[in-house]
Amino acid sequence: MPERHKVLVADPLGAAGADRLRAAPGVEAVFADTQSRVELLESVRGADALIVRSGTQADAELIAAGTSLRVIGRAGVGVDNIDLAAAAEQGIAVVNTPEANTLAAAEHAFALMLATARRIADAHKSLADGNWDRKQYVGVQLAGATLGLVGFGRIGRAVGHRALAFEMAVLTTDPYIPAEVATEHGARMVELPELLAASDFVSLHAVAQEDGSALLDEAAFAIIKPGAIVVNAARGSLIDPAAARSALDDGRLAGLGLDVYDTEPPPPDHPLIGHPRVVHTPHLGASTGAAQRDVSVQVVAKVLAALKGEPVETVQPAP
């Protein structure tokens, strides 16, 4: 009798991928996105595969409960919510979909940049409230400005390409990317302090720090170019909220565009929520129909391939 695999889906999955999973022969698809943590710990027992997005913490506890797990699929790029070391210790492969939401994430980062530079959210609210105040909402031009990209992977490069089309100069810093690769994509590789001091706009596209510390902390904001605008559509932990609030309040930062937060959802008293110089969205970087379709289809394809013993590209824990 053919082997049957149980695939547990812990977070909402796009319809295209969910349909493909349901139709896969020899697969029992269990959709548990409404389950509590306690229920999920029970459901993962006996599962051969686990699919998550960013909402579920596939930590050591959950992984240990999944004694039959062979593969964990992350529908998206970041694997900060997966304990890679614990997975490796149990011989569990971890796969993700780094290509699927590149364009959506890049477009959203650029949208935050434009919205913050031109004060679109404030102007929209003002007009909706019955005001016609053009002088209050003077913005910042992108053409001729310098964009600093912290991280030059797929998404960082895509943002850089769009910045060049807007006639911006592009700097980048990334310890994993050779300088010649940056040059090939129209950017100049520099160290982080130089990037912060020279950039009119800074867009974060880096992975989280291994120790969870902020990349843009009080010291970083002290050397950032006065009047800069920062965009973070990558990892919430990259920015120290209190330090960013201080930089906004004293005018060192002209604005901040946020799609990710150190805690999600952010608490009502979060220092950046509702600040007049902050444009914030609720983690929408991958929230386009095309991206959700592609992410769901790709993660299901990789998980099914792994269960069949076919070669798949996996995410490895840091050495």
Q: From the candidates 70, 157, 245, 283, give the one annotated as an active-site residue.
A: 283
Q: Residue 195 burial (CB < 10 Å; 0-12/13-18/19+)?
A: buried
- Alpha helices, H only, 199-277: 218-223, 241-249
Instruction: Look at residues 5, 28, 1 and name the one whose alpha carbon lies nearest to residue 308.
Output: 5
Alpha carbon distance 52, 37 (integer Å): 13
DSSP 177-204: S-HHHHHHTT-EE--HHHHHHH-SEEEE
- The three-state secondary structure class of 223 is helix
Per-residue confidence band for 178, with pLDDT thresholds at 50, 70 and 90: very high
- Which of 235, 245, 277, 280 is catalytic? The answer is 235
Give pLDDT tens digits for 6-63. Answer: 999 999 999 999 999 999 999 999 999 999 999 999 999 999 999 999 889 999 999 9
Q: Which two tokens stand for residue 117?
A: 């530079």
For the chain, the structural domain boundaries read 5-100+289-307, 102-280
pLDDT at 1: 43
Average model confidence (pLDDT) for the chain?
95
Please give the full DSSP string across 12-77, using - where no structure is assigned: ---HHHHHHHHHSTTEEEEE-TT--HHHHHHHTTT-SEEEE-SSS-B-HHHHHH-TT--EEEESSS
Place domain 102-280 in its CATH homologous superfamily. NAD(P)-binding Rossmann-like Domain (3.40.50.720)
89 carries an active-site annotation? no
Binning pLDDT at 50, 70 and 90, where does residue 209 land? confident
| Identical topology for domains 5-100+289-307 and 102-280 | yes
Average pLDDT on 211-217 reads: 93
pLDDT digits 0-9 by tens, 102-157: 999 999 999 999 999 999 999 999 999 999 999 999 999 999 999 999 999 999 99
- Per residue in 216-226, pLDDT (tens digit) is 999 999 999 99
Residue 121 CA to its chain's centroid (Å): 22
Residue 319 — very low, low, confident or very high, per pLDDT cuts 50/70/90? low
| pLDDT more than 70, % of the chain | 99
Average pLDDT over residues 82-107: 94
Determine whether 161 is an active site residue.
Answer: no
Is 264 noted as a catalytic residue in this protein? yes
CB 171, CB 148: distance < 8 Å = yes
Q: How far is CA 241 from the centre of its chain?
A: 17
Distance between CA atoms of residues 201 and 186, nearest Å: 16
Its pTM surpasses 0.95: no
The CA distances from residue 230 to 140, 241, 281, 301, in Å, are 13, 12, 14, 36
pLDDT band at 2 (very low <50, low <70, confident <90, very high): low
CB 88 within 8 A of CB 71: no
What topology does CATH give the domain 5-100+289-307?
Rossmann fold (3.40.50)
Q: Does the pLDDT value for residue 315 go beyond 70?
A: yes
Q: How many CA atoms lie within 13 A of 209 on its CB side?
A: 14
Token couple for 48: 């051969």
